[in-house]
Amino acid sequence: MEIATRTIGELHELLESKAVSATELAQGFLTRIEAVDPEIKAFITVTKETALEQAKAVDEKQARGEKLGALEGIPMALKDNLCTEGIRTTCSSKILDNFIPPYNATVTDKLKEAGAVLLGKLNMDEFAMGSSTENSGFFPTRNPWDLERVPGGSSGGSVAAVASDQAVFTLGSDTGGSIRQPAAFCGVVGLKPTYGLVSRYGLVAYASSLDQIGPVTKTVADNAWVLNAIAGHDAKDSTSVSLTTPDYTQFLSEDIRGLRIGVPQEYFGQGMDPQVEAVLQEAIRTYEGLGAIVEQCSLPHTEYAMPAYYLIATAEASSNLARYDGVRYGHRTESPEDILSMFCKTRAEGFGSEVKRRIMLGTYALSAGYYDAYYLKAQKVRTLIVRDFDQAFEKYDVLLSPTTPTTAFRIGEKSADPLTMYLSDVCTVPINLAGIPAMSIPAGFVDGLPVGMQLMGKHFAEGTLYKAAYAFEKNTPFHKVKPSLSQGGAR
């Protein structure tokens, strides 16, 4: 088996047995990136020197006879909206093209402390605004299953890197489905944790009440290992929740007899590809065969989630992105006439069309005379959506739905129609509004393209999601199927 296809657990065993060194492992993945990424374009920045330096430190630790932690020596990469001290962090935007942070994000520090090896920074939709990674200010990323299709977004680079075996795991950010939707399109595991479980300190903000950082991995077990490393309270993040986090790997059990699963009927409505729905119905039968109790349920305010989300998210984006003015950091226009022209020209040159669109929508929603009519009303709808989930979880342990209504679409297919593009996230945005955890796992294929299944849980019930996901994964073959690439070898 090619070493790049191995899981965290398998590589940990190889490192512990000294069958491979951390330096050899890092060099192997750097070689893989050189071979494959010209096709995929997942990476914005490859940090070769950093990776080899960190790998060397792991080898030296092992030479001293010290035991390795679960992630020590494991090659990974980060979405390019997570701050890395001394390493370029662009948010895939020209306005931050030359930005080098003076500090690390909390998750960056936690993974560094865990001994993970940083391979580089990953492409994304600019400022995490998009569903296809076509909105990157630099270049689009391609889906490893079909290079003519999108990988999803905004964490398209994070997901494509894992799907094409260029990193063992990555971190993404999820504001309205930006981890789960691309995970579904690329056939990997992606988790959006409960809001407040993982520190957002050092995550470049899009919509602060919705953003959450989460892991992208090949398997459910790998995902639990990574969440163990990044979860927990952080005094530097005022939204971070103070609680003792469990060892999430302890929830990995195939015994789900009696688990109560609700299937919200609203997630199987108009716009759903019949073949995707057929895959999900087969997944439901798998759960029933494992002894779970599966019933249809209702989340009646689901139809209002998309308009509420795009009002709240754009309003918060308008506020968060006001700081990019050419004064403090980032791009500044050349030879402005005065301060006002500097401000206007800097933003006009630095932001892409989708970011400009969302800033204008958000500014309008927050403007005098419209705040109550739009933003405040959207927040009231958000409360109704939260109540829908609370009521459903009084009866069910987990809710099940498709992650996306279709498989990955072709590059350019929806870029001219933003509203159609937004509907790619119709199954994922309610979860961010409610702040609950949700995970996408591979559930099957349609015409050779992956289909994702979304599992939703109660606040801070990630362990239950891991249990339900692990049981399904262990009883289905879908996570073992890999895309074939013209470079780097078919796997």
Known catalytic residues are 79, 154, 178
| 75-79 sheet: strands from edge to edge | 43-46, 117-122, 75-79, 169-174, 212-217, 189-192, 438-446, 449-457, 398-402, 260-264, 293-297
CA–chain centroid gap for 142, Å, is 16
Q: What is the DSSP string of 10-34?
A: HHHHHHHTTSS-HHHHHHHHHHHHH
In the beta sheet, which residues pair with residue 452? 442
Query: What token pair was written down for 318?
Result: 């308008």
What backbone phi and psi angles, to 5 degrees, belong to 400?
-125, 135
| Strand, helix or coil for residue 470 | helix
Cite the DSSP H helix spans in 187-236.
Answer: 220-230
What's the Cα-to-Cα distance from 264 to each of 333, 393, 399, rounded to whole Å?
A: 50, 12, 7
CA 192 – CA 64 distance, rounded (Å): 37
Phi and psi of 301, rounded to 5°?
Answer: -95, 15
